[in-house]
Amino acid sequence: MNAPTSVPFARRHLLRIEGLSAAEINGLLDLADSYVELNRQVEKKQSVLRGRTQINLFFESSTRTRTSFELAGKRLGADVINMSVEGSSIKKGETMIDTAMTLNAMHPDVLVVRHHDSGAVELLSQKVDSAVINAGDGSHEHPTQALLDALTIRRRRGKLAGLTVAICGDVLHSRVARSNIHLLTTMGIEVRVIAPPTLLPRFIDRLGVGVFYDMKKGLQGCDAIMMLRLQTERMHGAFVPSIREYFRFYGLDKEKLASAKPDALIMHPGPMNRGVEIDTVLADDIDRSVIREQVEMGVAVRMACLQALLVPAPNRAAKVERLRTVLFGP
Amino acid sequence: MNARLLDPATGRDERGDLLVDGYMIADVGARVFPDGVPSTIETIDCRGFCLAPGLIDIRVFTGEPGAEHKETLATASEAAAAGGVTTIVVMPETDPVIDDVALVEFIARRAREAAKVNVYPTAAITKGLKGEGMTEIGLLKLAGAVAITDGSFAVASAQVMRRTLSYASSFDMLVMQNAIEPTLALGGHLNEGEVATRLGLAGIPTEAETIMVERDIRLVELTGARYHVVSISTAAAIDAIRRAKARGLPVTCAAAPYHFALNENAVGNYRTFAKTSPPLRTEEDRLAVVEGLREGTIDIIASSHNPQDQDSKRLPFAQADAGVIGLETLLPVSLELFHNEGMPLLDVLRKLTIAPASLLGLRAGALKPGLPADLVIFDPHQPWIVDAEKFLSKSKNTAFEDRAVKGRAAVTVVAGAIVHRNGL
C-alpha cells in the first residue's frame, strides 16, 4: 500500500506533545495508521529513509521503546545505531552535552534520546544539528507513547473527540501521563486522573483534567483506562504505605472495572507490575486489554514520527530544488 | 558637586555637594561651597545625577577559597564596584567552609590584598555547614565575622537552632537563616506550582519557607536572639515576619531582586539561570514581596549573588546548581521598585544602605561627615540592556539577561578612592 509521503509537521524536533496542534497530531496519526498494515506484511522494508542515520541514545534503560524505535528506523530504510549508557563514555564521566556533541560530529540525521532527567532531551536538542526525538525525559514527556496510545484508541473507537479517558496511578512521576494529558485534551477528550493525592502533582488540575481519589467514581463512564506503573525508582521516600494497600484502592480489578463502560479499553504503557496496579486476569483479557496492540502501534507511530521529521514536505523539497537550480544551474 | 544628594539615613534629598577629605566624608549639603568650589581640589561634576551612600550587599557568595574558577574576592569586588556596591558581606559556603577563626582571618586578609570594595566575612553556624556542632561564635566574632549563617543551607534541627540562637544572643551575634525546611523541600528544584507540574520536576512548596520562618520566630521568642531571614520569597512567610515584628521580636528579613522582579514563569523551558534558592515563586508571592518592601516588613534588599560556571549550569534542571549573579544588576533591578511600583527613591535606597549597615553595625550607609567616603553616583533613568558577557563577575549566570533596565553606577567611591568610573 502507499503511505502518505508527507505530513504537515514543520518542526525540527519532537520534544513534547504540549504545544502540538490537533492538525499536527492527526497528521502523525494518519501517517502511522498507514504503516500498521505494512507492518503486518511479510515484506516490511521501505526506503523513505534510505541513506539516513538514526542514533538511539539511551541514558536510561529501556527495552520496548528502544526496540520499537530501532525497528521503525530499519523498516523505513535508515541505518540505526544503538547507544546506551552501559559501556559508554558516560560511565567514564563524560557529560551528556559532550556525548551529544561527539555524536553530532558524526552527522546523524536523527537522535532518539531518553534521559532520566526532565528537560534533558530539550537541552541536548539545543546543542546538535540533527533532529531530536524525545523518547522519554524524566517525569516530563514521552510524546511517542501518547501518540501510540491515541492511535490505539482511535482505531478501536473510530474517533477521539468526545470520549472519556481515565489515567490511573503514579501520575506524579509519569512522563506518559503528562504527554497523554496534553494530547488527549487537545483532541477534545475528557481526561480524568485517578490516584492517591500523594501521587498527583499539586496543580495537576491546571492542565485541564478532572481529579479523582476514588477509583470507582473516576472510572464511571470511561471509554478507556490507562494504568500507570508505580515508579518506585523515582521516589524519594514512601508515597503509599504498601503494595497491598495500593492494589486494594488503586489497582485495576474486575470490581472497579465494572464502573467503566462495558467495553472500556484497558491500557498500560508497560512494563506492567502485575498485582500492583493491574490484576493479571485483566491484563490478559483479550476482549478488553489492548496492551499488546499498544506495542504494535508503537512501531507504526515511531515510523511516522521519523518520517515526519526527516522527509521534507513536497513544497519544501520543491523550494530547495528551485534554490539549487538558481545557485548551481540545472 | 552638582549632585542630587540622597541620604536615606537622614531623609536628605536635595541639590548640593559633598566634600571628601582623605578617606572620609568631610562635609555634605547644599552650601558646602558658599563661595564657589576652590580650584585646588579635585572635583567630579555630577551634572544632577544622584549621589548616595555606596550600596551594601549583605549576601554574596564567592568561590574563594575553593572555587576560584567561579569567582574570587577580587572579581566579586570588581563586579561590586561596577554595580555601585561598596560593601559586600561574603558567605561562609566555600571550600573549606568558613567555620574557624583562622579562615575568617584568611578572608579578611585576602580581601585587604585583592578587593576594591569593603568585604566583611560571615562565619558558619555549624561546623562544615553540617547542621550539627556549633562553631566558636564568640571567637569568630572577635576575628571579625559580622554574622553567622549556614549560607544556602538551613539549620534543620530545632534543637541546634535553639542552642545557636540562645548562645549567639550572649554575644549579640546576628543569626542569618536561609529559611527552607529541608525535609519538606527534599528533592525539589523549583517552586511547587503549575510550572513544576508541567515540567515534571519535583517542587519546593511555599510551606517549606513558612514552616521554617514560623519555627524560628518561636525560637527567637524563647531566646531573644537577633534573627534574620536572608531571602524571603513567600506571602505567608512575610506575613509571619510582619506579625513577629508587631510583637516586638528582633526579627528582620531581606529579599533578593529576583524575588520581586521575576516569578516562576522565568524558568520557562528548564532555564537553569532561573534556578534559585529559595526558588522563584508565583506572581502572588512576587507581589507580596513588593508589598513587603513597600510597607517595611522586608528591611533589606540583598542580591544573593551566587556565581556558577557553565559546568554547574549547562545541565538538566535537576542536576544544575541553584544561584544567579546579582552584584551588577542590584541597583537597576531594585530601582524598578521606584520606576514601576511607585516606591519613593529614598525608601528603595534605604534597603540597600543604612538598613543593612544598621543590622550589621557597620560604619557605612550614610552621607555623614566622619564616615568613610563610600559613595555611588548614578543616573536612575539611564537605560541599558543587561548583557552578562560585559559583566565583570567571572561567572555569567544572570537571571536578567536581555532585560531592559534603568539606572547604572557612573562613579563608585570606596574610602575616598574612585574604584569605578563609567561616564562623568
Is the separation of the CB atoms in B57 and B89 below 8 Å? yes
Please give the C-alpha separations between residue A221 and each of A115, A182, B75, B190, in angstroms, as whole numbers. Answer: 36, 21, 65, 37
**Dmax over Cα atoms in chain B, in whole Å?**
69
CB contact under 8 Å between B201 and A118, yes or no, is yes
What's the grid cell of residue B399?
537571571
Q: Is the pLDDT of residue A267 over 90?
A: yes
As beta bridge partners, residue B255 has: B301
CB contact under 8 Å between A118 and B194, yes or no, is no
Q: Which pLDDT does position A5 carry in this prediction?
A: 54
Average pLDDT over residues B372-398: 97
Please give the C-alpha separations between residue B96 and each of B64, B107, B323, in angstroms, as whole numbers. Answer: 9, 11, 19
Average pLDDT over residues B191-217: 97
CA distance B61 to A196: 41
Start-to-end Cα distance in chain B: 12
Roughly what angle, to the nearest 10 degrees, separates helices A175-186 and A143-157? 50
Does A122 lie at the interface with B, CB-CB under 8 angstroms? yes
Q: Is the pLDDT of residue B295 over 70?
A: yes
CB contact under 8 Å between B186 and A118, yes or no, is no
CB contact under 8 Å between A120 and B187, yes or no, is no
What's the grid cell of residue B336?
524598578
Predicted confidence (pLDDT) per residue in A226-235, tens digit: 999 988 777 6
Mind giving me the DSSP string for B130-170? -SSSB--HHHHHHHT---EE-TTS----HHHHHHHHHHHHH
Average pLDDT over residues A256-276: 94
Enumerate chain B positions whose Cβ falls within 8 A of a Cβ in A: 186-187, 192-194, 196-203, 205, 269-270, 311, 314-319
Predicted confidence (pLDDT) per residue in A193-210, tens digit: 999 999 999 999 999 999
Nearest-CA distance from B270 to chain A in Å?
6
CB contact under 8 Å between B187 and A236, yes or no, is yes
Q: Which pLDDT does position A318 carry in this prediction?
A: 63
Predicted confidence (pLDDT) per residue in A1-26, tens digit: 455 555 668 899 999 999 999 999 99
Average pLDDT value over all residues in chain A? 91
Using 50, 70 and 90 to split pLDDT, how confident is the model at B111?
Answer: very high
Does A90 lie at the interface with B, CB-CB under 8 angstroms? no
Q: Which pLDDT does position A313 carry in this prediction?
A: 61
What residues of chain A lie within 8 A of the CB of B309, using their CB?
A: none
Q: Which pLDDT does position A3 carry in this prediction?
A: 52
How long is chain B? 424
Predicted confidence (pLDDT) per residue in A117-157, tens digit: 999 999 999 999 999 999 999 999 999 999 999 999 999 99
As beta bridge partners, residue A131 has: A110
Q: Which pLDDT does position A92 carry in this prediction?
A: 72
Q: Which pLDDT does position B128 carry in this prediction?
A: 96
Q: Which pLDDT does position A315 carry in this prediction?
A: 60
Q: Which pLDDT does position B96 carry in this prediction?
A: 97
**Locate cell 538511539: which residue?**
A56
Is the separation of the CB atoms in B183 and B212 below 8 Å? no
Does A93 lie at the interface with B, CB-CB under 8 angstroms? no
Express as a percent the part of chain A with pLDDT over 70. 91
What residues of chain A lie within 8 A of the CB of B194, using their CB?
A: 203, 206
CB-nearest to A18 from B198, B317, B318 is B198
What CATH number belongs to B54-364? Answer: 3.20.20.140
Q: Of A83-87, A103-107, A300-304, B290-294, which gets the smallest average pLDDT?
A: A83-87
Average pLDDT over residues B357-381: 97
Provide the 8-state DSSP code for B21: E
Q: Which pLDDT does position B306 carry in this prediction?
A: 97
Predicted confidence (pLDDT) per residue in B237-257, tens digit: 999 999 999 999 999 999 999
Q: Which pLDDT does position A1 carry in this prediction?
A: 45
Is the separation of the CB atoms in A295 and A252 below 8 Å? no
Buried b (16+ CB within 10 A) or exposed e, B198-233: bbbbbbbbbbbbbbbbbbbbebbbebebbbbbbbbb
Q: Is the pLDDT of residue B11 over 60?
A: yes
CA distance A151 to A183: 11
CA distance A193 to A208: 10
CB contact under 8 Å between A138 and B193, yes or no, is no
Average pLDDT over residues B324-344: 97
Average pLDDT over residues B391-401: 97
CB contact under 8 Å between B197 and A120, yes or no, is no
Does A150 lie at the interface with B, CB-CB under 8 angstroms? no
What residues of chain B lie within 8 A of the CB of A238, using their CB?
A: none
CA distance A24 to A12: 13
